[in-house]
Amino acid sequence: MTRIAVLGAGYVGLTTAACLAHFGHQVICTDVNEERIAALVNGVVPIVEAELPELVREGLSNGLLSFSTDNADAVHGVEFTFLCVPTPQSPSGRADMSYIEAAAREIGPHLARESIVVNKSTVPVGSTKVVERALRRPDVAVLSNPEFLREGSAVHDFLHPDRIVIGAESEASAVRLSALFLRLSAPVVVTDPASAETIKYAANAFLATKVSFINAVAALCEAVGADVRQVALGLGYDRRIGPEFLRPGPGWGGSCFPKDTAALIRIAEDAGYDFGLLAGVVAVNEEQHQRVVAKAVELAGGSVQDRVVGVLGLTFKAGTDDMRNSPAVEIVRHLIRLGAIVKAYDPTVREPVAGLDDVELCQDPYAACEGAVVMVLATEWDEFRWLDFDKVSGLMERPALMDCRNLLEGAMLRRFGFEYKAVGIP
Ligand X SMILES: NC(=O)c1ccc[n+]([C@@H]2O[C@H](COP(=O)([O-])OP(=O)(O)OC[C@H]3O[C@@H](n4cnc5c(N)ncnc54)[C@H](O)[C@@H]3O)[C@@H](O)[C@H]2O)c1
Binding interface with ligand X (CB under 6 A): 7-13, 30-33, 36, 71, 84-87, 99, 102-103, 121-122, 147, 149, 151, 255-256
Nearer to ligand X, 54 or 70 (CB): 70
With a CB cutoff of 8 Å and minimum separation 6, the contacts of 109 are 72, 136
User: Dihedral angle at the C-alpha atoms of 205, 236, 321, 202, nearest 10 degrees?
Assistant: -10
Three-state SS at 294: helix
Q: Which amino acid is at 245?
A: F
Strand order in the sheet with 3-7: 65-68, 26-30, 3-7, 80-83, 116-119, 141-144, 164-167, 188-191
Which C-beta is closer to ligand X: that of 86 or that of 167? Answer: 86
Instruction: Let me know if 369 is a catalytic residue.
Output: no
Q: Which is nearer to ligand X, 133 or 414 (CB)?
A: 133
CB of 234 to ligand X, least distance (A): 30
Query: CB of residue 411 vs ligand X: minimum separation in angstroms?
Result: 36
Closest distance between ligand X and the C-beta of residue 112, in Å? 18
Q: Would you call 45 helix, strand, or coil by DSSP?
A: coil
- CB of 235 closer than 8 Å to CB of 241: yes
Min dist CB 285 to ligand X, Å, is: 17
Cβ-based nearer residue to ligand X, 102 or 112: 102
Count CA atoms within 13 Å of residue 210 on its CB side.
16
Of 251 and 365, CB closest to ligand X: 251
Residue nearest to ligand X (CB): 10
Measured N-to-C along each axis, helices 228-236 and 193-224 cross at an angle, to the nearest 10 degrees, of: 140
Distance (Å, whole) CA 168 – CA 144? 7
- Closest approach of ligand X to the CB of residue 128, in Å: 14
Integer Cα distance of 376 and 372 in angstroms: 10
- The active-site residue out of 256, 362, 369, 404 is 256
Catalytic residues: 256
